[in-house]
């Protein structure tokens, strides 16, 4: 009896695989053509200058581009039953998703990803606020904002734009990549995800999270660098700060700083290798389990 059911199950699987392969071949092997959700592309333009931008979307990748014209343009590639309302109002650009789907509309196959592309005619803007459930954010180096706030549940954020005041990125799951930019204050909070900062200058940087590594390369912090992590490694390369505070439960702290420090380090289980103390700013490192190996350019190391 069991053998009969196994044969029937195997036949059903083979038939399903054959039907799926036939459908995929009919769609020229493009998985996107198998999507059960209908997508549309809508374009919105305005000649009025934009200062502040607010985007609220459930599922969309968001990208900014420098426009080749004098107009502001928003291109939304979106599901027909989850369109975005785009409003231009006295220097404000507001983009909000209007999810009209019923519960049964969430059942099906969907290989496409909604996308929002914002074209701006000038590089200097005011505030940018993005609130996502699932999606990636990319802000290129063409722009300078007064402030940027990105909040996402499952969200990778890439920020190459400079920010005069504050950059805040808060995600539950996702990687954060910041490079080639200058900031006032940087606040990065990710429950699970890696953080990479490259060629960055900032007055203050604060990062916290539960799980994930942090890598800082050519990062110069004028005042305070504060890193708090439950599980994850911290790696420095040619970086420095006025004062450094690192608190880990589990993880290694390694790399090189550019100037000497007054070191105060502690590990519950691990090896310690640090330079001789130099009068000046402080570097406090605490990890429950992990090695601490820090060097300073042209400085002697003690173990």
Q: What is the rounded CA–CA span in Å between residue 105 and residue 183?
A: 42
Mean pLDDT throughout 7-17? 59
Domain ranges of the chain: 39-102+112-138
pTM exceeding the 0.75 threshold for the entire prediction: yes
Residues 6+ apart with CB under 8 A from 205: 183, 185, 186, 188, 197, 219, 221, 224, 225, 226, 241
Select 39-102+112-138's CATH number: 3.40.50.300, 3.50.50.60, 2.160.20.120, 2.30.30.100: 2.160.20.120
Please state which of the ranges 74-88, 91-105, 168-182, 239-253 shows the lowest mean pLDDT.
91-105
Q: What is the DSSP string of 126-174?
A: SEEEEEEEE--EEE-TT-EEEEEEEEEEE--EEE-SEEEEEEEEEEEE-
Mean pLDDT throughout 251-255? 97
On average, the pLDDT of the chain sits at 86
Q: What is the rounded CA–CA span in Å between residue 22 and residue 24?
A: 5
Per-residue pLDDT band for 37 (boundaries 50, 70, 90) equals: low
Helix (H) or strand (E) holding 225: strand 214-231
Give the per-residue pLDDT at 9.
57
* Residue in this structure with the two tokens 């006032």, named with its chain if needed: 184
Instruction: Kindly report, residue by residue over 59-93, the tens digit of the pLDDT.
Output: 899 999 998 888 899 999 987 777 889 999 988 99
Per-residue pLDDT band for 24 (boundaries 50, 70, 90) equals: very low
Please state which of the ranges 68-82, 212-226, 259-273 shows the lowest mean pLDDT.
68-82
Whole-number percent of the chain with pLDDT over 70: 81
Instruction: Kindly report, residue by residue over 233-247, the tens digit of the pLDDT.
Output: 999 999 999 999 999
| Dihedral sign from CA coordinates of 222, 224, 230, 234 | positive
Burial class of residue 214, CB neighbours in 10 A (0-12, 13-18, 19+): buried
Per-residue pLDDT band for 31 (boundaries 50, 70, 90) equals: very low
Q: What is the rounded CA–CA span in Å between residue 107 and residue 260?
A: 59
């Amino acid at each position: 009896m069991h053998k009969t059911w196994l044969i029937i199950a195997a036949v059903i699987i083979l038939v399903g695989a054959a039907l799926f392969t036939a459908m995929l071949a009919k769609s020229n092997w493009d998985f996107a053509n198998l999507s059960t959700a209908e997508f549309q592309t809508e374009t919105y333009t305005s000649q009025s200058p934009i200062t502040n931008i607010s985007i609220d979307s459930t599922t969309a990748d968001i990208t900014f581009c420098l426009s080749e014209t004098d107009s502001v343009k928003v291109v939304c590639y979106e599901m027909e039953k989850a369109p975005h309302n785009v409003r231009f109002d006295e220097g404000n650009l507001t983009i909000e998703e209007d999810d009209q789907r019923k519960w049964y509309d969430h059942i099906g196959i969907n290989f496409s990803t909604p996308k929002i592309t914002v074209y701006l005619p000038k590089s200097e803007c005011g505030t940018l606020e993005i609130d996502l459930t699932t999606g990636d954010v990319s802000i290129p180096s063409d722009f300078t904002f007064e402030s940027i706030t990105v909040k996402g549940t499952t969200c990778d954020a890439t920020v190459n734009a400079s920010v005069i005041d504050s950059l805040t990125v808060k995600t539950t799951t996702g990687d954060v990549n910041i490079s080639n930019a200058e900031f006032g204050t940087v606040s990065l909070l990710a429950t699970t995800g890696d953080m990479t900062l490259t060629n960055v200058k900032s007055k203050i940087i604060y990062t916290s999270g539960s799980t994930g590594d942090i890598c800082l390369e050519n990062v110069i912090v004028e005042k305070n660098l504060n890193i708090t992590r439950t599980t994850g490694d911290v790696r420095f390369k040619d970086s420095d700060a006025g004062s450094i505070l690192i608190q880990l439960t589990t993880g290694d702290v390694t790399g090189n700083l550019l100037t000497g420090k007054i070191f105060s380090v502690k590990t519950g289980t691990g090896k310690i290798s640090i330079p001789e103390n130099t009068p000046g700013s402080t570097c406090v490192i605490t990890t429950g389990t992990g090695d601490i190996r820090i060097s300073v350019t042209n400085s002697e190391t003690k173990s």
